[in-house]
């Protein structure tokens, strides 16, 4: 279970940063930054992957209401194609921290790569399972992205985005092969390029 072990070693405002959507071949990347009120933390905060979709959507408003500050950044598939997924992720992380309405003194970053932030940053492997601040950010990033993909399902119903959220599920790949890529597919992904050729 995530806790405040990393946060307690730091002074000032500590933000957790995490993303959702690095793996899918469609849709945006979403990155969140959260500064928790360490005296008012909702129960059930944990790695978003260990929660059901319903649980994530239920806890999302509790995090937003109780946190000292939070932000969510959407990184478009066009920017991902332009920069590559790693650079797009780092850009999104920096932007999420910069957009916090309360300036953070330290950042805890999920993973092993940190962007240049102008404040001290610590990367934590599997941080969303170890730090409550990162876990909270993982939930906000995931719910923001899921909400976008559910909306995209109504705009591009042939692809089943509501179900698989743009990940490379068999039904999703078959839909790309049949219909070609939609405007929200990542054209730099080899899978999308190859299936686009098949659909022509």
24 burial via Cβ count (<10 Å: 0-12, 13-18, 19+): buried
Whose tokens are 């730099």? That residue is 188
18 marked as binding residue: yes
Distance CA 185, CA 161 (A): 11
19 marked as binding residue: yes
Could you list the residues known to form a binding site for a divalent metal cation, using ranges: 18-19, 110
Could you list the residues known to form a binding site, using ranges: 18-19, 110
């Amino acid at each position: 279970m995530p806790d405040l072990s990393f946060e307690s070693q730091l002074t000032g405002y500590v933000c957790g940063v995490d993303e959702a959507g690095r793996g899918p071949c469609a849709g945006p990347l979403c990155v969140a930054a959260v500064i928790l009120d360490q005296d008012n933390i909702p129960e059930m905060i944990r790695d978003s992957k260990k929660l059901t979709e319903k649980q994530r959507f239920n806890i999302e408003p509790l995090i937003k209401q109780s946190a000292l500050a939070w932000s969510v950044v959407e990184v478009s598939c066009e920017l991902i194609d332009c920069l590559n997924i790693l650079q797009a992720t780092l850009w999104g992380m920096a932007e999420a921290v910069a957009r916090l309405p309360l300036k953070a003194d330290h950042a805890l970053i999920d993973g092993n790569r940190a962007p240049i932030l102008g404040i001290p940053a610590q990367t934590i492997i599997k941080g969303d399972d170890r730090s409550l601040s990162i876990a909270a950010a993982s939930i906000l990033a995931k719910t923001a992205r899921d909400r976008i993909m559910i909306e995209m399902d109504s705009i591009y119903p042939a692809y089943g985005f509501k179900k698989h959220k743009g990940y490379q599920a068999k039904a999703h790949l078959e839909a790309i092969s049949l219909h070609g890529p939609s405007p929200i597919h990542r054209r730099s992904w080899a899978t999308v390029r190859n299936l686009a050729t098949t659909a022509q």
